[in-house]
Amino acid sequence: MMRVVIIGGGPSGAAAALTLLDAQIPVTIVEQKSFPRYRPGETLHPGIEPLLDRLRVADHLHAAGYVRHAGVWSGWGGVMQFVPYGEDTSGPWRGYQASGADFDRRLLECAGTRGATVLAGKVSGVLFTTSGEVAGVMTSKGPVPAAYAIDCSGGAHTLARQLRIPIVRYSPRLIARFGYVNGRFDNPSPSIRSDQEGWTWIAEVEPNRYQWTRVTETHRRPDRTWIPHGLRDLEVEPSRSADVTWRLAKTVAGPGYFLAGDAAAVLDPSSSHGVLRAIMSGMMAAHLVIHRLRHEADAQMCASRYQDWLTGWFRHDVEEMSRAYRTAHLFGFNG
Ligand SMILES: Cc1cc2nc3c(=O)[nH]c(=O)nc-3n(C[C@H](O)[C@H](O)[C@H](O)COP(=O)(O)OP(=O)(O)OC[C@H]3O[C@@H](n4cnc5c(N)ncnc54)[C@H](O)[C@@H]3O)c2cc1C
């Protein structure tokens, strides 16, 4: 039986589905929320563009007319300056300031149009073979047997929790408070500014609509009424919070399963790499599943290649981000 079940229809789940569907492998995505669901706005790194091309969804996403930007205004540990993403012979590299809810909806819609079955339900358990391999999932709508399960359930870490895989912390406990404001804000965006207790990010996700994110250690979290200076006179929507402590599942692939996106690894959003990493890991997990199912590659070899690849970039990002926090003397990353 060739079907692959994907837990969660966010960017990692949709990217995994699109990759599998290209190889004619049937896919069921189990998603507990109806889309568009509430999301923080996303500043998408330009590195996302070749991946969207590869998934053959770039046109559909360009049609949304997201705000494009060539770099970030950074007041990291000092004076505000523009930090460009870079350029090549065809011009500057440009990211997107997309409404996260709309971006995710479009990506999932593409997977549905190409033939993914999207099951509205919640994954609550795992099915196993007699030899202990993952053989599908139990959902609120009944069992979904599958040759492989890819967990793309984000910070819920559904499969890791079911399989009792430890989630290892790599930073102090960090919390992001985020929200939207509507109105005119004349400062350049996206911008990031650090201070003694944390940092604040502001991005224009649609004309005259801004998303802000404030990241601090948990014990310094701002209260629900906090709004960044400069946005306080605009029309304010209620804010929310999310755990953005750096963390990695100790095992990200095993018999019959892969973990991708935030379900495998979470970093705080200071580098705007979350969606990029989610799409990359969803595609990579799907490629290895294809390798296994279509070309009968050794299951253990596929799992260990993925483990090395994912932990490699996670450790690299942890080093880079620790260095950045040391320069800003934040979150205890001193010395
Ligand atoms: C405040 C904030 C700001 C951010 N800003 C940026 C940014 O500017 N740029 C950037 O690139 N990244 C940003 N990120 C990170 C980015 O949002 C995530 O890295 C990205 O969404 C991860 O995608 P994913 O597909 O792995 O998970 P998600 O997008 O979280 O999707 C997981 C899906 O799984 C579903 N699900 C969960 N459990 C179950 C279950 N048991 N059964 C069925 N469905 C389930 C959920 O409903 C959800 O739809 C930000 C994060 C936060 C918290």
Q: Are strands 27-31 and 4-7 parallel, antiparallel or unpaired?
A: parallel
Ligand 1 pocket, mutate which of 152, 218, 237 (most atoms under 8 A from CB): 152
Q: Report if residue 252 sits inside a domain.
A: yes
d(CA 326, CA 335): 7
Residue 213 CA: nearest ligand 1 atom is: 1
CA of 143 to the centre of ligand 1 (A): 24
Q: Please state the φ and ψ torsions of residue 334, each to the nearest 5 degrees.
A: -95, 160
The answer, yes or no, to whether residue 117 has pLDDT greater than 90, is: yes
Structural domain includes residue 16? yes
* Side chain identity at residue 25, one-letter code: I
Interval between CA 75 and ligand 1 midpoint (Å): 26
pLDDT at 77 over 80: no
- Look at residue 282 and tell me if it is in a domain: yes
**DSSP line for 242-293:** EE---EEES--EETTEEE-GGGTEE--GGGS-HHHHHHHHHHHHHHHHHHHH
Extended beta strands in 115-173, E state: 117-120, 123-128, 134-139, 142-145, 148-151, 167-169
- Span 225-238, average pLDDT: 93
CA of 155 to the centre of ligand 1 (A): 7
Answer yes or no: is 109 within a domain.
yes
Domain encompassing residue 147: 4-67+97-170+246-327
Q: Are 282 and 211 in contact (CB under 8 A)?
A: no
pLDDT for res 187? 84
pLDDT at 250 > cutoff 80: yes
Per-residue pLDDT band for 109 (boundaries 50, 70, 90) equals: very high
pLDDT digits (tens, 9 = 90+) for 171-218: 999 999 999 999 998 888 899 999 999 999 999 888 899 999 999 999
Residue 189 lies in a domain: no
The pLDDT, as a whole number, for residue 276 is: 96
Tell me the mean pLDDT in the region 249-264: 98
Are the C-beta atoms of 131 and 105 separated by less than 8 Å?
Answer: no
The residue among 247, 255, 254, 253 whose CA lies nearest residue 282 is 253
Give residue 335 CA to ligand 1 midpoint distance, Å. Answer: 32
Q: pLDDT category, 297, cuts 50, 70, 90?
A: confident
Per-residue confidence (pLDDT) for residue 2, from 0 to 100: 86
CA–centroid distance, residue 328 to ligand 1 (Å)? 27
Gap between the Cα atoms of 17 and 115, Å rounded? 9
CATH number at 302 reads 3.50.50.60
Name residue 73's beta-bridge partners. Answer: 82, 191
For residue 176, being part of any structural domain is answered with: no
Residue-wise DSSP of 35-66:
SSPP---EEE-TTHHHHHHHTT-HHHHHTT--
Residue 335, pLDDT score? 58
Q: Which residue's alpha carbon is nearest to atom 21 within ligand 1? A: 275
Residue 136 lies in a domain: yes
Mean pLDDT on 68-88: 91
Which of the pair, 277 or 66, is modelled with greater confidence? 277
For ligand 1, pick from 19, 31, 138 the residue to mutate: most ligand atoms within 8 Å of CB.
Answer: 31
Over 80: is that where the pLDDT of 1 sits?
no
Most confident of 27-31, 47-51, 96-100: 27-31
pLDDT of 112 strictly over 80:
yes
At residue 78, does pLDDT exceed 90? no
Lookup: tokens for 175: 């919390």
Quick one: residue 56, left, alpha or beta (phi over 0 = left, psi -120 to 50 = alpha)?
left
The burial of 314, by beta-carbon neighbours within 10 Å (0-12 exposed, 13-18 middle, 19 or more buried), is given as buried
Please report, rounded to a whole number, the percentage of residues in the chain having pLDDT higher than 70: 99
> What pLDDT is recorded for position 265?
98
Q: Average pLDDT over the chain, rounded to whole? A: 94
Q: Which of 146, 134, 167 is nearest to 255 (CA)?
A: 134
Question: pLDDT by residue (tens digit) across 129-174?
Answer: 999 999 999 999 999 999 999 999 999 999 999 999 999 999 999 9
Rounded to whole angstroms, how far apart are CA atoms 30 and 21?
16
* Average pLDDT, integer, range 39-66: 91
List 119's β-bridge partners, or say none: 30
Cα of 271 vs centre of ligand 1, distance in Å, is 15
Q: Report the run of H or E that residue 177 belongs to, with start and end.
A: strand 174-182
Spell out which residues line ligand 1, taking CB within 6 angstroms: 7-13, 30-33, 37, 40, 42-44, 122-123, 152-154, 156, 158, 176, 178, 213, 242, 244, 261-263, 269, 272-276, 278
Q: What is the pLDDT of residue 150?
A: 98
Distance 69 CA to ligand 1 centre (A): 22
Q: How many domains does the chain have?
A: 1
Looking at residue 194, its amino acid is S
Instruction: Grade residue 104 by pLDDT with cuts at 50, 70 and 90.
Output: very high
CA of 62 to the centre of ligand 1 (A): 21
Residue 16 predicted with pLDDT over 80: yes
pLDDT digits (tens, 9 = 90+) for 301-335: 999 999 999 999 999 999 999 999 999 899 998 75
pLDDT for the residue numbered 334? 75
Q: Is residue 209 part of a domain?
A: no
Atom of ligand 1 nearest to the CA of 124: 41
Atom of ligand 1 nearest to the CA of 177: 1
Q: 164: alpha, beta or left, given left = phi > 0 and alpha = psi -120 to 50?
A: left
